[in-house]
Amino acid sequence: MRTSTRTADSPSIARLRALLSGPLEVRIDGAVAYWIGQPDGTPLGPESDRTLDPCALVLRLIADGVDPDHLMLWARLENGELYDVGGGVSLVGMAQGTFGIPARPRIPANKRTVP
């Protein structure tokens, strides 16, 4: 039984596909700036009005061997309050998702096989 009246070639489906084909961003209502920093808030990169640049920085830092547990995405709200958006492995997944990079399957160490 069909649950949608929309066809695969309808304009609304085409708009959704176009939206999902580009980078996906995180947006916090009331945020005026985002940056990557340490868990204590110390910035590791410049501020941005969007999350694209901070997420790109996460991918570069991870490629350079930085421990994801030392990274946090921060936002500054309109009232000046700081908001921690997320960090660690979740932040890496967020950054990968932003640029359409499929996440690697995570396998517990006791389930891995060594070639």
Q: Is residue 61 a part of any domain in this protein?
A: yes
Q: Is residue 10 a part of any domain in this protein?
A: no
Query: Is the pLDDT higher at 9 or at 5?
Result: 9
Q: Is residue 93 a part of any domain in this protein?
A: yes
- Pairing mode, if any, of strands 31-37 and 82-87? unpaired
Amino acid at the residue 36: I
By residue range, what is the domain housing residue 53? Answer: 33-104
Given a cut of 60, whether residue 70 has pLDDT beyond it is yes
How many structural domains compose the chain? 1
Mean pLDDT of the chain: 85
State the CB neighbour count (10 A cutoff) for residue 36: 27
- Rounded Cα distance between 99 and 81, Å, is 28
The total number of residues shown for the chain amounts to 115
The per-residue pLDDT for range 7-51, each reduced to its tens digit, is 667 788 777 777 666 677 888 999 999 999 999 989 999 999 999
Q: Is residue 50 a part of any domain in this protein?
A: yes
Q: Is residue 113 a part of any domain in this protein?
A: no
Given a cut of 90, whether residue 113 has pLDDT beyond it is no
Q: Is residue 12 a part of any domain in this protein?
A: no
Q: Report CA-CA distances (Å) from 54 to 13, 44, 61, 79.
A: 30, 10, 10, 21
Task: Please answer whether residues 93 and 74 qualify as being in contact, where contact means their C-beta atoms are separated by less than 8 angstroms.
Answer: no
Q: Is residue 17 a part of any domain in this protein?
A: no
Q: Token pair of 40, please?
A: 């204590």
The pTM of the whole model exceeds 0.75: no
Q: Is residue 1 a part of any domain in this protein?
A: no
